[in-house]
Amino acid sequence: MTISMEASVIAVGVSSCLLGEKVRYDGGHKHDHYITHTLGRFFQFIPVCPEVGCGMSIPREAMRLEGDPSHPRLVTNRTHIDLTDQMLAYCQTRVDELEKEDLCGFIFKKDSPSSGLYRVKVYNQGVPAKTGRGLFADAVVQNFPLLPVEEEGRLYDMNIRENFIERVFAYRRWKDFLRAGRSMGELVEFHTAHKLQVMAHSPQLYREMGKLVAEGKTMERAELLERYQEFFMRSLSFHATVKKNSDVLMHIMGYFKKELTREEKTELLEVIRQYHDRLIPLIVPLTLLKHYVSKYDQQYLKKQFYLNPHPQELMLRNHV
């Protein structure tokens, strides 16, 4: 099996209002142009509005979460009608349907009592505390524990944005691997191609994954793949920091120790230092390294997803 840089269709769930659909309680929307105009070029969106999906009207009375943050109730603000059971029944039905959509990620609407992922207000005796999670968002997270998930508001943090999108593309590649082949040799190839990418996120988990692959022939194949999948997606959930990226850049440089001239080594070390000191973005040392990969025809590095984990058009590595 040859691991391709090109992924198949990347299905991503998204709160319908973020696509510009007028489904909110007031009949409006929360169109996010970055999602539709930028990510929409690479993702196939699966829109979901839990309120409309479970039979509520547009417009409708606003709602909020009340009670125990771990098991809150969904209650209308003015008339205090409890709609929890209606929503939970829909959540179970919808996540079952989403099993067939081959999702690689989900973008939720922040603060929503149905779709908010983090710090959703939960009222107790009229006093709000940002301690909850929307009922539908919770159902998705519980049903798809490895699925990359994020809120649209947090995607404006460049580090969070890069991490989320990188995980989405990585999850698609893993799913493609499972679909195309499941042999031990193919797993070794997949693991090797993602070595530097995983090292940039979690060196510790990379070592654990290496041990797992080394012992793979002694395990049942289904157990091996399940454990590897958990390690792989969990490792990428850690952010690739400047320190870890710098270590990987130096590691890559080691592959050219016999080819680079003294001047080239000096230039590359200086560029890596400038990145480490946060003077230039990651794209600068990577561009130079990719030049050397091509110049010296470094076949091993050509297969490393660390150098191209997502489309360059997204410019996720262009920030300091």
Q: Which helix (H) or strand (E) is 121 found in, with range?
A: strand 120-124
CB 23 within 8 A of CB 29: yes
Hey, what are 271's tokens? 């560029």
Query: Of 209, 215, 203, 213, which Cα lies nearest the Cα of 246?
Result: 203
Mean pLDDT of the chain: 96
Measured between alpha carbons, how far is 88 from 69 in angstroms, rounded to an integer?
15
Q: Tokens at residue 12, please? A: 């991503």
- Cα separation, 118 vs 103, whole angstroms: 20
Q: In terms of Cα–Cα distance, which of 133, 142, 200 is closest to 166?
A: 200
The identity of residue 301, as a single letter, is L
pLDDT single digits (tens) 216-239: 999 999 999 999 999 999 999 999
Longest dimension (CA), the chain: 76
Q: State the sign of the Cα–Cα–Cα–Cα dihedral 308, 311, 313, 319.
A: negative
Query: Tokens for 52?
Result: 């409309």
Which two three-digit tokens encode residue 252?
């890559």
* 155-209 per-position pLDDT tens digit: 999 999 999 999 999 999 999 999 987 799 999 999 999 999 999 999 999 999 9
Partners of 105 in the β-ladder? 12
Tell me the one-letter amino acid at 90: Y
pLDDT band per the 50, 70, 90 thresholds, residue 316: very high
- Strand ordering across the sheet containing 11-15: 44-48, 11-15, 103-108, 149-151
**Other Cβ atoms closer than 10 A to 110:** 22
Tell me the per-residue pLDDT of 78-119, one tens digit each, with 9 for 90 and over. 999 999 999 999 999 999 999 999 999 999 999 999 999 999
* CA dist., res. 247 & res. 201, Å (int): 11
